[in-house]
Amino acid sequence: MARPRKNAPKPNTQELSLVPVEEQPYPLPEGWKWVRLGSVLSASKEKTEDFSSPSLRYVGLEHIEKDNGIIGSASAEGIRSLKNIFHPGQILYGKLRPYLNKHDIADFEGVCSTDILVFDCSNIVISKFINYFFNLSYFKEYTVTNSKGINLPRVSEQTVLNAVFPLPPLDVQERIVTRIESLFAKLDEAKKKAEAVLDSYETRKAAILHKAFTEELTHTRPTSFQPITNFIKKTKNSLKAGPFGSALKKDFYVASGYKIYGQEQVISGDENFGDYYINEEKYQELISCKIEPRDVLISLVGTVGKVLVLSENCKPGIINPRLIKITLDQTKMLPEFFSYYFQSDEVKASHKESSHGTTMDVLNMGILKQINFPCFTILEQQEITRILDSILEKEQQSKEAAETVLEQIDLMKKAILAKAFRGELG
């Protein structure tokens, strides 16, 4: 392994490769120049097969997060093949799948994958300025457009160095970097708060649902707990799993007819999501799986336990093999009340316990029949549902507002960078 070197930029020993006017993306302020990135950046050629040092760190593409820089490293022990050497202050840039935009400035000595380019900055450019440049939308589009390979696209070292780059004087670069860091710090603080709202959403929802069914919310407690079979309509197929998979193949799908309700509708909460249909003949064959207005659908696969209450004017159709449908006796239990209780931690814990300790969420008809539901009067159910509608709507609005903030922060960062590299940041 090469000995550590001092963290110092390389002197600029080559002439600036100026970009012809017709290739310049936009006008620059006075004193700036459009140059090829290779005029201020050079690729390091240091490599090694010596990984004997126990303290040597290894950085792979998995250690560089998309748009977020280096997030970790691993021991180089056990590595056998040739690797690139990097030093503090050098820029690491992932050339594999350039749309992932993996890059950062190293702050420690180590080795990295050969799918990571190692760059040195000359003494007329600041490494942080280059690192921010790599986040520019037009640079990312340039690398993606000029990458090669279908399944594993890569951008070459020469392609990166051939990119057009807006070069301001060194003191201007320093001011721009300081300004970007200041603005990004404020945005990152707002981002943390928005992420905290999103991270705590499910916890808050679970706490609200727990209160609703343990008298803390309405000061009303259930008289007892009974299995779902005590709350369904006393008719055939009021509690029904979807048809066996082979009974419903895409060969049977038609352009219009009877709708097939699938897991996608339940997970999205939109009964109109998707547009798969079967004809009259197939519908009659699978009539036992038909849906009725106000039926409750429950997902069984992937995102387990999601619930959807069908509207009064839902389209006639059937459920697919990934769903259970329940037709409730609405003199005993309201579909919305059932939906809220089924989303509670009490039910989740119950069907996890019934899954006999498997590592995956499991739900089927047998497990569903073992879950006990609270007995409230219809008036009490209406009041609990009304309160939950109001509280959870506000929680949902907070969640959506936080999601909007995160989207806006990303857009604002892009706008800040775009202005910074036009000399318009102020």
Distance of CA 291 to the CA centre of its chain: 33
Checking if the pLDDT of 4 tops 70, the result is: no
Tell me what pLDDT residue 275 has. 79
Amino acid present at 273: F
Q: What is the rounded CA–CA span in Å between residue 48 and residue 40?
A: 25
Checking if the pLDDT of 2 tops 70, the result is: no
Same fold for the pair 21-166 and 223-375: yes
Predicted confidence band at 361 (pLDDT cuts at 50, 70, 90)? low
**Residue 28 CB neighbour total at 10 angstroms:** 16
**Residue 246 CB neighbour total at 10 angstroms:** 7
- Cα separations (Å) of 158 from 154, 161, 163, 225, 381? 12, 5, 9, 70, 68
Give burial (CB, 10 Å; 0-12/13-18/19+) of 144: middle
pLDDT one-digit tens code per residue, 44-73: 999 999 998 889 999 999 999 998 899 999
C-alpha torsion angle, residues 335, 338, 340, 342 (rounded to 10) = -140
Note the pTM of the prediction, 2 decimals.
0.72
**Residue 366 CB neighbour total at 10 angstroms:** 8
| Residue 257 backbone zone (phi > 0: left; psi -120 to 50: alpha; other: beta) | left
Q: Are 127 and 91 in contact (CB under 8 A)?
A: yes
Q: At what angle do helices 137-145 and 378-420 cross, to 10 degrees?
A: 90
pLDDT one-digit tens code per residue, 72-100: 999 998 888 999 999 999 999 999 999 99
Q: What is the rounded CA–CA span in Å between residue 296 and residue 308?
A: 6
Checking if the pLDDT of 298 tops 60, the result is: yes
Checking if the pLDDT of 185 tops 90, the result is: yes
Q: What is the rounded CA–CA span in Å between residue 334 and residue 153?
A: 53
Tell me what pLDDT residue 7 has. 54
Q: What is the rounded CA–CA span in Å between residue 116 and residue 38?
A: 17
Q: What is the rounded CA–CA span in Å between residue 311 and residue 200?
A: 30
- Phi and psi at 332, nearest 5°, equal -115, -35
Instruction: Kindly state the tokens that stand for 185.
Output: 């710090």
Q: Where are the domains of the chain?
A: 21-166, 223-375
Strand pairing of 317-319 and 258-261? parallel
Longest Cα–Cα distance in the chain = 87
Amino acid present at 144: V
Checking if the pLDDT of 356 tops 60, the result is: no
Tell me what pLDDT residue 8 has. 64
- Phi and psi at 86, nearest 5°, equal -135, 155
Please tell me the CATH code under which domain 223-375 is placed. Answer: 3.90.220.20
Checking if the pLDDT of 1 tops 50, the result is: no
- Phi and psi at 7, nearest 5°, equal -80, 85
Q: What is the rounded CA–CA span in Å between residue 354 and residue 371?
A: 9
Instruction: Give, in words, the CATH class of 21-166.
Output: alpha beta
* Average pLDDT of the chain to the nearest whole number: 90
Predicted confidence band at 359 (pLDDT cuts at 50, 70, 90)? very low
